Each structure stands twice: as structure tokens, then as C-alpha cells.
Amino acid sequence: MSFRFRTARSLRTATLTMALLASACSVAPPAEPELPFSLPAEFVATSTSAYAPAERWWTGFGDAQLDRFVENALERNPALAQAIARNQVAEARVRVNRADQLPQVGLGIGSTRQRQNMLGLPDEFGDMSIISNNHNVTLDVSWELDLWGRLSALTAAARAEYLASGEQLRGMRQSVAAQVVQLYFDIVHARAQVELSERTVTALEEMARQINNRVQVGIASPADGMLADANLGSARAGLEQRREALEHSLRQLEMLMGDYPAGRLQTADSLPEVPPPPPAGIPAQLLAQRPDVRAAELTLLGAGYQLGAAQRSFLPSLSLTGSGGYAGSELSDLFSSGNLVWSIAGRILQPVFQGGRLVAQVDIAEGQRDEALHAYAETALNALGEVESMLAVDTLLTRREQALAGSADAAEEAVRVSFNRYLQGIDPFLNVLESQQRALDGRSAHITARHARIDNRISLHLALGGGFDTRGPATPVTASATDTASMPISP
């Protein structure tokens, strides 16, 4: 069993080596990824027009304060600053890998003074020693020739990782902008709920005053006064709960913008009208413009180049070294022609036996490539699912808000009618309490429905990959290793 396993491994290694030798030094780009599902011609949830980049989509809400908050967060957000630093590190790694393809040159300057004792001489010579000096200045050059494209593949892999980090940075910027807009309207929603609760408390205070006056003169029962006071206390507790939510959202937004969480931000007091939905285009366009999908595709590309580099480790490597300079015992005549020294050497190394290390490295690279392929498919599927969900619920949320608006209006009118009927002695006070609670719940639900529509619209813009830095698939993601290595550094 062990012999058959070793034989199979040996045949695999030999086959791979012969295939690579036949391909010489060409480094073909990995094949474009294929999704395990078919893309429809348009989104199923709704038919949309051609996609148009929504640059600075948050300005559609018409709130100058919101615009300033977004700009502040993009300049000062700590998480975004970390993403920028990671992108800079990835760019430096490209330059490190690119440097491995070039000759390495070093200048060496040395000086030694040495004493050697002469042992084993007859006694009449006494103790003898030799003191010598050696000074040298040399220029050393070493260069590994990239015969089979291994170094080029590593550079292309680093380049793909850098471009992927650039897409992740772009996605982070869009995410931070969307988080600011969401938190801003969370605050506006909380303010609207607080204002509703304050109006309710004021109305219930007046109602409790009138009921208690009627109790004092014997027109109403003491139980009515107790119920009015209990209803007022419950409303006051609800007001404090809504104020708590407001304080929490205020501090979250301040931290997102890199400010101290003092809870002093000023925002609008009411939610705006929801702007029209953006054109979603078609699923294929979504996969070309979403930063996370593009980053996953670039990561897969880099894993393909890493696999190519691992496979080329089976082939022989050719290294050239050279050294030239001056060496002598006296500094005064160090640079004379008689002290000129030089050497040139070449070395070819063919891996023969490494205990299965090279085969294992190929297996690792293959596994990482397969993992990146499945990660790309998962990311693409999640992106499509997000857009389909946002488009599907948009109409439902609109109808929900309209229904709740009518319900809230009717409930508030019922409060006025039921209280008048109570004062006339027609209805019991319990009817008034029930209509009050329905009016509060109905108007609160209406405000929350408007907020849900706005939140869904923000999520749709983010899911479509829209923002201030929208761009199509301009970056070549299937270039050859040589082309990728020569690409400009900026993404």
C-alpha cells in the first residue's frame, strides 16, 4: 500500500514537471470563475431599468446636516483608517515580490587586522608571529533568473491581493457612508418617537386633570381617576424609554465619525419623504460593480497564481552571482589595478528529494484555490440575495406605511370621540383608555414604518454597490502574470 502511494505520488510529480517544462515560461492567467447557478436576465423581484451609478446617493434625502456627517465619517472613521493602512501594506507587498525578479546588488566595505603565531619552530627562533592587514571594497550581484515564471506568478498573486484590498477599501467606504445614514435616521426616528410621546404625555396630563376634577365634585368615580393616573404614568415611562434609545443612537453616530460620544449631535426632527428607488440594472451588472464580489474574484485570481508558483517549484532554478572590487593590505594603494578582484558564478538547482514538501505545497495551493472559488460563489449569491430581498420588500413596506397612516388617523379621531362620549356619560372611561393606547401605538407604528422604508432604501443602495466611488469592471482581473506585474500600483 505504501509503495503504491509513493509510486502514484512520483508519477504525479513527474507528470506535473513534464507539463510545466512543455509550457516553458508562459504564465497564463487562471480561468475565469464559473458560478454554480445560472444568472437570470433581470431581477425576479421587480423589473428595473439599466443601472446608473448613484453617486452620493444620500444627498437625495435633502439634508445638508446628513451630508456633512457622511463627509466627516469618511475622513475620520477609525475602521476606515485601518482599511487604508491594510491597502498600503498590500501595495508594499507587491513591490517586495516585484523586487525578487530583479538583480540584487550590494556594496561591501571591510577591513581586518590579524595576528598569527608561528608554532613548532626551533627554540633559537623564539616566539614569532605575523601581523597582516586586509582591506576590501566589493560590489556583489546576485540574480535568480525567472526561467519558468515562478517569480512572475508570485508577483501577479500579490498584485491580485492588492487589488482585492482596494475593492475591500472601496466597500468599507460605502459601508461607513451607509452606516452614517442609517444611524442618522435612527436618531431622527427616535426624536420623532420622543416628540410623539411628549405630546401624548401632555394630552394625558390634561385628561387626568379633568378626570380628577370630576372625581372631586362627585361626577366620576375614583376608579376613573386612578385609571387616568396609571395611564399617564405608563406614558411617562414610555417617553423615558424612547429617550434612552435616542441617547444610545446619538453616541453611536458620534463614535462612527471618530468623535467623543457626548450625545450632542443635532439632526432633523422628522423623517423625510422616501426618494424613488435607484435603477438596479441586471444581476450580471451587480456582480461587476459590487466591491465584495470583485474582491472575492481577485482573491480567487491570486490563489490561482499562487498555485501556478507552487507547481513551478518542481522545475530547476538558475542563479547567477558576481562580485568585483579591490582587496589589499594597504589603504593607500587599495584601488590600484594590481588589487582588482572579481568572480562570476552560475548555479542550476533541480529539486530531487524534499520529503514530499513540494507536492504538499501544491496541495495546499489547490485547496486554497478551491476555497477561494467557493467563497466567490457564496459572496455572489449573498449579493444577489440582498438585492432581490430589498427590491421585493420595497413595495410591501410602502403599502404597510400607507395602511398604518390611515389607521393612526382613525385611532386619533377615536380618542376625541370617545372622550366626548365619556364626558356626556354615554361610554365608560375604559373606552377612552383603549382608544388612547391604540392612537399612540398606531402613530408610533406609522413612524416606524416610514423609518423601515428609509432603512430598506439605504440597504438597497449599499447592496447595489453605489456610493461616491462607483465604477465598473475597469480593472483587468484576468491579465497574465507579466502584465499584472507591470501594472501601475494605484488601483
Number of domains in the chain: 2
Q: In this predicted structure, what is the pLDDT of residue 42?
A: 85
Higher pLDDT, 47 or 160: 160
> Look-up: residue for cell 485547496?
367
Are residue 81 and residue 118 in the same domain, yes or no?
A: no
Residue 483 has pLDDT above 50, yes or no: no
Residue 439 lies in a domain: yes
Q: How far apart are CA 395 and CA 83, in angstroms?
A: 36
Q: Which residue has cell 394630552?
A: 203
Task: Tell me: pLDDT of 103 over 60.
Answer: yes
Q: Is the residue at 405 inside a domain?
A: yes
Same domain? For 121 and 242 the reply is: no
User: Is the pLDDT reported for residue 294 higher than 90?
Assistant: yes
| pTM for the structure as a whole | 0.80
| Domain span at 62 | 2-101+147-315+355-485
Average pLDDT score over residue span 93-109 = 92
Model pLDDT, residue 130:
78
Q: Within this chain, do residues 125 and 268 fall inside the same structural domain, yes or no?
A: no
331 and 294 within one domain: no
For the ranges 8-17, 169-178, 311-320, 382-391, the lowest mean pLDDT is seen at: 8-17
pLDDT at 290 over 80: yes
| pLDDT tops 90 at residue 252 | yes
User: Helix (H) and strand (E) counts for the chain?
Assistant: 10, 4
C-alpha cell at 487: 501594472
Note whether 290 and 151 are same-domain residues: yes
pLDDT at 19 over 70: no
In the predicted structure, residue 96 carries a pLDDT above the cut 60: yes
Report the pLDDT averaged over residues 90-101. 93
Mean pLDDT, range 460-483, rounded to an integer? 56
Model confidence at 424: pLDDT above 90: no
Same domain, 256 and 332: no
Q: Is residue 185 part of a domain?
A: yes
Q: Is residue 160 part of a domain?
A: yes
Beta strand 317-328 with 128-145: parallel, antiparallel or unpaired?
A: antiparallel
- Does residue 47 belong to any structural domain of this protein? yes
Distance separating alpha carbons of residues 268 and 383, to the nearest angstrom: 32
pLDDT at 146 over 50: yes
Q: Of 267, 289, 319, 284, nearest to 474 (Cα)?
A: 289
Task: Give the model confidence (pLDDT) of 22-36 as tens digits.
Answer: 444 556 667 677 788
**Same structural domain for residues 159 and 206?**
yes
Please state, for a pLDDT cut of 90, what percent of the chain lies above it: 52
Reported confidence tier of residue 125, pLDDT bands at 50, 70, 90: low
**End of a domain among 349, 374, 401?**
349
Residue of 229, 291, 212, 255 lying closest to 470 (CA atoms):
291
What cell was used for 50? 439599466
Q: Give me the DSSP letters along 145-194.
A: E-SSSHHHHHHHHHHHHHHHHHHHHHHHHHHHHHHHHHHHHHHHHHHHHH
| Lowest mean per-residue pLDDT among 187-196, 323-332, 443-452 | 323-332
Are both 86 and 162 inside the same structural domain? yes
Report if residue 181 sits inside a domain: yes
Q: Are residues 342 and 471 in the same domain?
A: no
Residues comprising the chain, all counted: 491
pLDDT of residue 164: 95
Q: Which residues pair with residue 143 across a beta bridge?
A: 320
Whether residue 308 is found in the same domain as residue 337: no
Residue 476 predicted with pLDDT over 80: no
Phi/psi region, residue 413 (left: phi>0; alpha: psi -120 to 50; beta: rest), is alpha
What confidence score (pLDDT) does residue 403 get? Answer: 95
Q: For residue 475, count CB atoms less than 10 angstroms from its CB and return exposed for 0-12, middle for 13-18, buried for 19 or more.
A: middle
Q: What is the pLDDT of residue 122?
A: 63
How many Å apart are CA 448 and CA 365, to the nearest integer?
Answer: 50
What mean pLDDT is reported for the chain?
84
pLDDT of residue 469: 53
The verdict on residue 491 lying in a domain is no
Domain of 115, CATH number, reads 2.20.200.10
Domain boundary pick from 303, 328, 349? 349
Let me know if residue 392 belongs to a domain.
Answer: yes
Task: Read off the pLDDT of residues 335-360 as tens digits, 9 standing for 90 and up.
Answer: 887 788 889 998 888 888 888 889 99
Cα distance between residue 208 and residue 189, in whole Å: 28
Q: Which residue has the cell 372631586?
A: 216
18 and 31 inside one domain: yes
- Single residue among 349, 367, 399 that ends a domain in this structure: 349
Same domain, 233 and 111: no
